[in-house]
Amino acid sequence: AVWMLSFIAPAITMRLLAGEYRQGTIETVQTSPVADWQVIWGKFLAAFCMLLVMLVPTLVYLLMLQMVSKPDYGPVFSGYLGLLLLGAMYLALGTLASTMTQSLMAAYLGAFFFWIFAGFATSQGAAALGSPWDTVLYACSPRLHTANLAKGVISLVDIVFFLSLTVFFLLLAVRILESRRWR
């Protein structure tokens, strides 16, 4: 699911603002009576709702599992929570990438390769640098935090990690949209 999200999230978000820039409708958006943060958060929430709609059919597997056995719902719940938190973080970065460019392909590739690089840097960089940097890089790894949730372990550290990066990427997107007003 983690790898699928790295392909799907940039595809969902690549058009959020890059399409507005490309079609010349960004002026309409920026002159509307809403703040820039409302534009960014509104587009992000629309993308998140799209992700939710895409995940709803997977609940059929849970129903099928219920028919043949008695599953432990704790790991199922934490797995879905992890998927939603990871998806929100990926969508926030995709929103940021879409804010930075007019090109849909650049927005897609920017978001996609950021996560490829981040995954490579946290795993291979930690192995190459050794102690004490390996601890820092592993703590920054989305894979580590997702794995904890997939095992059924709901930790405040993991939730704060995903939510703080999601908010950070969205705040950067707001600042970039605000800075484009002055260009």
Domain count, the chain: 1
Global pTM reads: 0.90
Contact assessment for residue 48 and residue 91, using Cβ atoms and an 8 Å cutoff = yes
Whether the predicted pLDDT of 8 surpasses 70: yes
pLDDT tens-digit series, residues 26-43: 888 888 899 999 999 999
The answer for 34, left when phi > 0, alpha when psi is -120 to 50, beta otherwise, is beta
pLDDT tens-digit series, residues 77-94: 999 999 999 999 999 999
Domain around 15? 2-180
